[in-house]
Structure 1
Amino acid sequence: MKDVLYTTEIPAGGHWSLRLRRGTQMRITDIEGGGNAGMLFYNPEDLLERYNAPDTLKCQHTFRLTRGNCLYSDMGRIFASIVEDSLGWHETVCGNSHAAHIAERWGKRDYQNDRNDWHQNGYDAFLVELAKYGLGRADMAANINWFSKVATDADGNMNLDGDHSAPGSSITLRFEMDTLVLLHTCPHPLNTASEYPRKPVRIEIGEAEPVSDDDYCLNYRPENRRGFQNNALYYMGTEMGKR
């Protein structure tokens, strides 16, 4: 990443959103370890286009996300590429925690009575951010859970690896499209910690290096090269207008 132009810390149980331009890079850091950062993507020029978890996994023949993987929209375009990753495993199949899950596991707390000690959930955190852009429940998509690793036991049950992310673990995204990014720091839905997890993350944003023909993400899968071609076609008129 070139010089960091913006940095902020999202507290535990927090939520955040920002429109990022293509050519921007974002580093997300799990400050204390054991964190979870839920994330969704939308096309700010056409909010009906959003992150597609099934297409992202099946076209890259994977169950997990790591360096080299691209994050696809439901139009076959690439929102972002994972250019750096200190963990090697992030999941995008388990979705969000909900108010009922949180209340059952750690007790119900609301902001009116408990202020910063309340128990927020991922689904409602996303709804708050979606509302800022005229979106709602019908616009919710399957999200990414950065820093979270799930594995299956002999009976096929999925379990969260609570020791997966160490303090300082980070992942860096390079945005290949203008993208509306939504993020929350609420617990993973499979988290079974005895206390409500309060894990903040740091966000750093700067300018990315240009994509070269030998780029790792571009060449990670043949499908990714086609995704980049779809992006180029989408922006063709814009690029020609700059000449």
Structure 2
Amino acid sequence: MNTNRNASVVPARAAWSSVIREGETLTITDLHGNQAVDFLAYDAHDTAVRYSAPDTIHAQGGIFLTTGSVLLSNEHTALMTVTEDEVGRHDTVGGACSKESNTLRYGHHTWSQHACVDNFLAEGARYGLGKRDLVSNINWYMNVPVEQNGTLGIVDGISAPGLRLTLRADRDVLVLVSNCPQINNPCNGFDPTAVRMTITGAAG
């Protein structure tokens, strides 16, 4: 029988983290729609083993994640698997916003704005992680199309209020989340909102 051992609402712009034990699932619910959720995963017992975008993209033969996608580590081993996805496509290449990238893209007046890298650093510090431990992240719900000339876009999301995705932990994993605070492009509809994280125990 599956049981929820933890459910929490992550406020707009906030960070969240948890260890998801092997066999448990993590469900991310986009409560209000069009909210990007930046995401990193590490082996909970050896954080040098962490999510690898190149390994994941190469193994599945595409840059978008959906049901059946396996998040691979830098050792090409499974960390988590997407078991349910009500949206259909999630980004692996758009990266996390930072004070530096905001300044470059949108102007020096954005320097003081909170960013996903700030969230990752603050939350990761609780587990002894620092800047060198940050890698290319997943952006759940974020819509980053690739044009024919290779240009990436960040455009209006394809999610809607209440849509969910669920990941199964294929080993004990540490998950870091930044509920993206970006207000300079459409990834959050220019209005960051809350999401819900629900951890469900393994089937017994």
TM over 0.5: yes
TM-score where L is the length of structure 2: 0.89
Alignment match, 1:126 = 120
1:144-163 matched pairs, under 5 angstroms: 144-163=138-157
TM-score where L is the length of structure 1: 0.76
- AA of the residue aligned to 1:145: N
Distance 1:189 1:151, change over 3 A: farther
- Alpha-carbon distance between aligned partners in 2 of 1:132 and 1:193, rounded to the nearest angstrom: 27
SS in 1 for 2:196: strand
Aligned-residue offset at 1:209:
3.5
Q: Is the 8 A contact 1:52 1:141 kept in 2?
A: yes
SS in 1 for 2:153: strand
Q: Which one of 178, 199, 214 corresponds to residue 193 of structure 2?
A: 199
Aligned-residue offset at 1:100:
3.5
- AA of the residue aligned to 2:11: P
Question: Any stretches of 5+ residues in structure 2 without a counterpart?
Answer: none
Distance 1:194 1:140, change over 3 A: closer
Count of residue pairs the alignment pairs up: 202
Aligned-residue offset at 1:44:
2.0
Aligned-residue offset at 1:152:
2.4
Alignment match, 2:23 = 23
- AA of the residue aligned to 2:202: A
* 2:177 is the alignment partner of 1:177: no
Aligned-residue offset at 1:12:
0.9
Q: Is the 8 A contact 1:120 1:186 kept in 2?
A: no
Alignment match, 1:98 = 98
Aligned-residue offset at 1:94:
1.3
SS in 2 for 1:123: helix
1:77-96 matched pairs, under 5 angstroms: 77-96=77-96
Identity among equivalent positions (%) equals: 33
Distance 1:76 1:152, change over 3 A: closer
- Alpha-carbon distance between aligned partners in 1 of 2:13 and 2:21, rounded to the nearest angstrom: 26
Kindly name which structure, 1 or 2, has the bigger radius of gyration based on alpha carbons: 1
- Alpha-carbon distance between aligned partners in 2 of 1:49 and 1:32, rounded to the nearest angstrom: 33
- AA of the residue aligned to 1:84: E
Further displaced range: 57-66 or 146-155: 146-155
- AA of the residue aligned to 1:40: L
- Alpha-carbon distance between aligned partners in 2 of 1:189 and 1:143, rounded to the nearest angstrom: 19
Query: RMSD of the alignment, in Å?
Result: 2.4
Alignment match, 2:137 = 143
Distance 1:24 1:198, change over 3 A: same
Question: Any stretches of 5+ residues in structure 1 without a counterpart?
Answer: 111-118, 211-243
SS in 2 for 1:124: helix
